Structure 1
C-alpha cells in the first residue's frame, strides 16, 4: 500500500505583510508609523524590527510601581510616559518601559514617539526574552543619544532591584551611581524616594 502525497495549501505571498521582507538597508524610525498591522509595541533596533513577548506579572507590577512613584515626585514641567518609543537615530526607535520627559518637551496627544533630546530618564525592566537588549544594547544606544539618566530594573526573587546610571558627558557612556534594593532614593533628575517593597501590595 502506497501513501499518497498530501499537499499543504500555502498562503499566497500577497497575503504576507510587507514588513516580513525588510529592505536591504533596514527599516527607518519613520517606517514604524507607516507599516500596516505591526504587532503592538514593536521596536526598531539597528534597523531591525523587534517584537515584544507577553510580559510577566513581575514586569507589569514593577513598571506600575515605578510609574506611580515617578509621577508623585516629578516637579512641574516633567512628564512621565509609559511604553512610548524614543527616536534615537535614523535606524533606532526602541520603546523603554518608562520615560520621563524634560520640561519644555513638545508633548502632543498625536505623538507616536519622542526625540531623545526630550528625555531625561529612560527605564527598562529586564525581561527573560530581552536580557541582552535591556542590559547591553539599549543602554549603549540611550547613552550615545545623550539621554542623561537610565535605570535598569532586575528581578530578585520577586523584588525589584534598581540600578541607577548617569551619563558621563566626556565619554558619552553611563556610569553606575547606585544599586537600590529596598528604596530608590535619588536626587536626579529630581528628588524622589520610591518604596520598592510596595510591590508586595500591588
Structure 2
C-alpha cells in the first residue's frame, strides 16, 4: 500500500476572481491574462473586462475535438490546427475560438495568436453562448481581419462557413450533410464525421 499525501488546503484560501475595481475601470490587458494563476478559469478579454468562458458541454467538446482531428489529418503542411488557444485581437481584447487553423510557422510556445496568423476560427454554438457566437464574436473576428469563420450549430449538427469580403463575413456554404469549400484549403467535410 502506498502512502498518499497532499499539501494541506488553506481554509482561508479563496478561488481566483478578477479585481472588481479593475473590472469597473475596464483596464485589463493581455499581459494580465497571461499572468493569471494556474487555478484561474478560462477568460476572454472584452474591451478590458475579463469575462469567464463557461465550460463547454460534452457534446460541444466532442464536436470541437472531432473537427480538430478531421482538420489535423487533412490540412496542408503550411497550416496547423489547435483548440483552447486564444486570439489576441487587440491589447485589451481576446477571443478563444473552439477550433482554429493557423500558420504552421507560429511558435508552439504561444498562448495567444495574432489575427494575421489565423486562417480560420470555428465557434461551436451552445445555449449559453448563442449571442456571442452568432453576433458578437463574428464582428470581432471580422474587424481583426481573420479570413474564414465557421459556425457550428448543434442538435442537429449544421456548419455555416463564411469568408471575409470587404470587412464583412459572407456565407460561402452551409450544410448538415457535407461541407464543400475551396478555402482555406480544399475541403469536403462529411458532417457525420464531426457529429457525436
Shared fold (TM-score greater than 0.5)? yes
Q: CA deviation at 1:45?
A: 1.8
Pairwise mapping of residues 22-41 of structure 1 onto structure 2 (< 5 A)?
Answer: 22-23=21-22, 24-36=25-37, 39-41=40-42
Q: Is 1:175 aligned to residue 135 of structure 2?
A: no
Q: Is 1:165 aligned to residue 162 of structure 2?
A: yes
Alignment correspondent of 1:90 = 91
Structure 1, unmatched stretches of 5+, are 1-10
Pairwise mapping of residues 65-104 of structure 1 onto structure 2 (< 5 A)?
Answer: 65-104=66-105
Q: Is 1:194 aligned to residue 195 of structure 2?
A: no
Q: 1:125 to 1:22 in 2, by over 3 A?
A: farther
The number of residues matched between the two structures is: 184
Q: 1:186 to 1:46 in 2, by over 3 A?
A: same
Q: CA deviation at 1:22?
A: 4.4
TM-score (norm 1): 0.82
Structure 2, unmatched stretches of 5+, are 1-10
1:85–1:114 contact (8 Å) kept in structure 2: yes
Of 115-124 and 33-42, more deviation after overlay is shown by 33-42
Q: CA deviation at 1:17?
A: 4.5
Q: CA deviation at 1:174?
A: 0.7
State how far apart, in whole Å, the 2-side matches of 1:199 and 1:139 are: 22
Q: 1:68 to 1:17 in 2, by over 3 A?
A: closer
Q: Is 1:132 aligned to residue 127 of structure 2?
A: no
3-state DSSP class of the match of 2:28?
Answer: coil
Alignment correspondent of 1:58 = 59
State how far apart, in whole Å, the 2-side matches of 1:167 and 1:138 are: 14
1:59–1:127 contact (8 Å) kept in structure 2: yes
3-state DSSP class of the match of 1:30?
Answer: helix
3-state DSSP class of the match of 1:93?
Answer: strand
Higher Rg of the two aligned structures = 1
TM-score (norm 2): 0.85
